[in-house]
């Protein structure tokens, strides 16, 4: 049994079944009428876990026939990861691929089938999956040593291999090759845990690719004012556990850097003060984010299975970051410089949880252009959740991390209307943007979302002034944030793959706009114009 207190922090036709560090880098979503309007406008509704399991099993039972229909080789198999059914009966089935029993990294694909039987496919690679053999010339131990050396030469300390390397087929870039994938753990230079995947050629030993998977992404708290929290009675006391939202729990690490720490507990169910402030904000942020995805997109939790992640606050000592980790399926927050500014603001919480959503949908690789799109996705839905909360203490805006004052001068981490205002992010796409930090290569996608939502030029929203330029100087008219959110979510869950780049994101969002509004719609034309506004054509 859960109890909603009044002084705590919280805030395909027809069924949807589904299925980083932030820096440097009940229904707290507005009026009931506004929420109902948004929910009715969604393309799908939340699906019971049992129905989701049935849909996935049904799709997997037909995976062999699907592989044959796609013309895949005799050694290739498909593994279902997600099934999404639109209101018009279109079904999007997302697959991973294996070859001779080995995982194919970059081999994921999505099959789109309309109710009339018309089909299309989105692939992470157009290459035919084939290698000359599956016997590695480079041993697993040699691959591990190479991976450890590569990680240590980068930004990771205290490196160690997490289990033995696994043999894979690398297909995310160029011709598919036999490879080893080694997971190296350690600590990044800023104190963030590291879980780096290093892919090395099984014939030559050369490093092919590496990427990071730790994304550095009533109570009264530090940022959100006095807000409602859903807690759970524990005898005569109360635990910071939200039974209404998949059992989300908030823990106190108390300066630790591993484990879960201690579940927050309170005697009178009136939270806030001291160490509880960060917990209030984190718990509230998780509730708002859960409600946003469920009410707006019909998604029940990060994995769409009705099960919540958990939050950990007070990580480390003066840790100036927050991060999402797939391995623990959790969000973690540091206390900031001098342990005085916890990174638990609402948009940071939604940002981190969205990394989990991306990991359970498109799995955009956290490097290069796909990494920038990964980061932008978290910024986009971080801002969207903040707007949805309608919290006057932290009104919705197109600024990222404006409350945590990471620079100590009152400026936000990132600006969506003109990303370059942070001094590092890019306003427009250019050749070579894949070589910069993903937090900065996210700029064109953030800028696209702002233009699609609000349009170009000067305007004031919720008291914040914006003035968004375009690459070619042409004016762009916005279609409203609600429609822009729906288009990006549809693109992420139905059309993007692990290797999607900016050109692919443009194609994905145009496909999403076609599904939602039609190929001749004003919304489709607006998507096209907004991408042109950031030099993606």
Going from the C-alpha of 231 to that of each of 29, 292, 332, the distances in angstroms are 19, 19, 20
**Residue 353 to residue 330: CA distance in whole angstroms:** 8
66 tagged catalytic: no
352 tagged catalytic: yes
Strand pairing report for 166-170 and 102-113: parallel
Give the torsion sign (CA, 67, 70, 73, 79). negative
Residue pair 509/491 in contact (Cβ under 8 Å)? The answer is yes
Residue pair 60/79 in contact (Cβ under 8 Å)? The answer is yes
Strand pairing report for 262-263 and 248-252: antiparallel
Going from the C-alpha of 70 to that of each of 62, 64, 128, 496, 499, the distances in angstroms are 12, 10, 11, 19, 20
Going from the C-alpha of 367 to that of each of 207, 297, 375, 439, the distances in angstroms are 15, 27, 10, 10
**Residue 530 to residue 380: CA distance in whole angstroms:** 15
Q: Which of 92, 112, 439, 447 is catalytic?
A: 439
Residue pair 70/323 in contact (Cβ under 8 Å)? The answer is no
**What one-character DSSP code corresponds to residue 21?**
B
Q: Which of 66, 96, 212, 352 is catalytic?
A: 352
Residue pair 531/509 in contact (Cβ under 8 Å)? The answer is yes
Sequence-ordered strand ranges (E) for 306-366: 310-315, 322-325, 330-334
Establish how many alpha carbons lie within 13 A of residue 92's alpha carbon, considering only the half-sphere containing its beta carbon: 31
Residues sharing a CB contact under 8 Å with residue 483, sequence separation 6 or more, in sequence order:
516, 517, 523
List residues with catalytic annotation: 352, 439
């Amino acid at each position: 049994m859960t109890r909603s207190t009044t002084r705590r922090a919280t805030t395909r036709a027809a069924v949807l079944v589904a299925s980083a560090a932030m820096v440097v880098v009940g229904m707290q979503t507005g009026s009931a009428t506004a929420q109902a309007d948004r929910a009715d406008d969604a393309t799908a509704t939340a699906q019971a876990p049992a129905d989701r399991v049935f849909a996935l099993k049904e799709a997997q039972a037909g995976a062999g026939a699907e592989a044959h229909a796609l013309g895949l080789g005799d050694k290739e198999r498909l593994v279902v990861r997600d099934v999404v059914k639109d209101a018009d009966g279109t079904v999007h089935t997302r697959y991973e691929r294996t070859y001779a029993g080995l995982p194919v990294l970059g081999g994921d694909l999505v099959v789109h089938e309309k109710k009339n039987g018309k089909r299309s496919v989105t692939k992470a690679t157009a290459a035919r999956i084939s290698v000359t053999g599956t016997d590695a010339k480079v041993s697993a131990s040699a691959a591990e040593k190479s991976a450890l050396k590569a990680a240590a030469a980068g930004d990771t300390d205290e490196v160690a291999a997490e289990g033995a390397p696994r043999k894979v087929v690398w297909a995310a870039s160029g011709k598919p090759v036999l490879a080893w994938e080694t997971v190296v753990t350690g600590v990044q230079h800023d104190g963030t845990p590291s879980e780096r995947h290093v892919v090395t050629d099984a014939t030559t030993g050369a490093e092919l690719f590496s990427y990071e998977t730790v994304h550095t992404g009533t109570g009264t708290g530090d940022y959100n004012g006095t807000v409602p929290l859903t807690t759970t009675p524990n005898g005569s006391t109360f635990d910071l556990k939200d039974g209404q939202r998949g059992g989300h729990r908030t823990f106190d690490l108390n300066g630790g850097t591993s484990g879960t720490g201690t579940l927050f507990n309170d005697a009178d169910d009136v939270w806030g003060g001291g160490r509880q402030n960060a917990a209030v904000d984190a718990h509230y942020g998780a509730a708002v984010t859960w409600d946003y995805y469920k009410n707006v997109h019909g998604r029940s939790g990060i994995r769409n299975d009705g099960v919540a992640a958990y939050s950990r606050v007070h990580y480390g000592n003066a840790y100036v970051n927050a991060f999402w980790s797939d391995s623990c399926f959790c969000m973690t927050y540091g206390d900031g410089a001098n342990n005085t500014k916890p990174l638990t603001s609402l948009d940071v919480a939604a940002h981190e949880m969205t990394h989990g959503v991306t990991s359970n949908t498109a799995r955009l690789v956290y490097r290069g252009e796909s990494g920038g799109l990964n980061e932008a996705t978290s910024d986009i839905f971080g801002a969207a959740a903040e707007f949805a909360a309608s919290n006057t203490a932290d009104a919705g805006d197109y600024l990222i991390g404006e409350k945590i004052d990471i620079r100590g001068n009152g400026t936000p981490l990132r600006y969506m209307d003109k990303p370059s205002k942070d001094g590092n992010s890019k306003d427009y796409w250019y050749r070579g943007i894949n070589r910069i930090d993903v937090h900065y290569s996210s700029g064109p996608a953030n800028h696209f979302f702002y233009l699609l939502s609000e349009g170009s030029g000067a305007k004031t929203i919720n008291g914040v002034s914006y003035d968004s330029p375009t690459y070619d100087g042409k004016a762009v008219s916005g279609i409203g944030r609600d429609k822009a959110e729906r288009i990006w979510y549809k693109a992420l869950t139905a059309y993007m793959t692990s290797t999607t780049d900016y050109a692919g994101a443009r194609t994905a969002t145009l496909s999403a706009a076609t599904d939602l509004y039609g190929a001749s719609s004003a919304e489709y034309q607006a998507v096209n114009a907004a991408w042109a506004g950031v030099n993606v054509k």
